[in-house]
Amino acid sequence: MSRVEELLSFAATVKGFMPSDEGHALFETGRAQRRGGTWLEVGAWCGKSAVYLGAAAEERGAVLYSLDHHHGSEENQRGWEHFDEQLVDPVDGRLNTLPAWQHTIASAGLESVVLGVVGPSLVVAEHFDQPLDLLFIDGGHGDEVAWADYRAWTPKVVRGGALLIHDVFSDPADGGRPPYEIYLDAVNSGEFTQHGGEGSLRVLTRH
Ligand code: SAH
Ligand code: MG
């Protein structure tokens, strides 16, 4: 098996909510970027999407910042149908996905390619000055949080850079509105060209 094949099959075993066809689309989008770029994902969870993107980043000589406060979104807390007690920190009783994320990135051998950034998205965005060649928005899906991420991070995407948005559902029966709304805003802004995508993943390029 090639290194890439190994990473893609490993990614499929990581905890999370990234179907493999969408994960492969993340990988292919990353792979199509210019060499040596700076990439960032908002929403790391246990590192599943970071391995798909990281596989491409390794190949392209890029770096992926994987940002999360690691305490789960509002919608991920106790009572959620997929809530996982194994992710609860016994010390403070809070959800903590950082240890799982670290194990994932170490097992993938991507520790020099995928760099963790731990903290609230908006605080990081305020102090993050690097232009982004690829931005993947997959953080909190609540109305305020999703729009705030979109407004804080999207302006950092360079011309020719990629904007990816996850959990975009045009039919409200399939999922929440905010990711779909921010996607529509990006399309309607006239600043991006759309490339289709896969499942609930949308891929845009700034022109
Ligand atoms: N991209 C991941 C899944 C991310 S789940 C994958 O496909 O594998 C959404 C994540 O966003 C959660 O881990 C949650 O902790 C994080 N998150 C939500 N709101 C946040 C905020 N304001 N700042 C930082 N991280 C946030
Ligand atoms: Mg998602």
> Any catalytic annotation for residue 141?
yes
Q: Quote the pLDDT of residue 92.
A: 96
pLDDT per residue over 163-194, tens digit each?
A: 999 999 999 999 899 999 999 999 999 999 99
* Identity at 4, one-letter amino acid code: V
Which helix (H) or strand (E) segment holds residue 38: the answer is strand 38-42
For the residues 62-89, what does the mean pLDDT come to? 96
* 157: CB partners within 8 A, 6+ apart: 131, 132, 133, 134, 135, 163, 206
Predicted confidence at residue 125, as pLDDT, reads 98
Separation of alpha carbons 54 and 61, rounded Å: 10
Ligand 1 probe mutation, 26, 52, 69, most atoms within 8 A of CB = 69
Q: What is the CATH number of the domain that holds 20?
A: 3.40.50.150
Cβ count within 10 A of residue 98: 18
pLDDT band (50, 70, 90) for residue 34 = very high
The confidence band for 13, taking pLDDT boundaries of 50, 70 and 90, is very high
Into how many domains does the chain fold?
A: 1
From 184, 144, 187, 191, select the one nearest 168 (Cα to Cα).
184
Average pLDDT (36-40) is 98
Per-residue model confidence (pLDDT) at position 29: 98
Summarize pLDDT for 90-139 with one digit per residue, the tens: 999 999 999 999 999 999 999 999 999 999 999 999 999 999 999 999 99
pLDDT higher than 90, residue 49: yes
User: Residue 44: what pLDDT?
Assistant: 98
Q: pLDDT tens across 78-97, in order?
A: 999 999 999 999 999 999 99
What's the gap between Cα 5 and its chain centre?
A: 20
The confidence score (pLDDT) of residue 178 equals 97
Average pLDDT, the chain: 97
Task: State residue 37's pLDDT score.
Answer: 98
% residues pLDDT > 70 (the chain): 100
- Looking at ligand 1, which atom is closest to the CA of residue 95? 15
Domain that holds residue 190: 3-206
The binding-site residues of ligand 1, defined as CB within 6 angstroms of any ligand atom, are 16, 18, 41, 43-45, 48-49, 68-73, 97, 120-121, 138-140, 145
Residue nearest to atom 6 of ligand 1 (CA): 49
So what's the pLDDT on residue 196?
79
pLDDT band at 204 (very low <50, low <70, confident <90, very high): very high
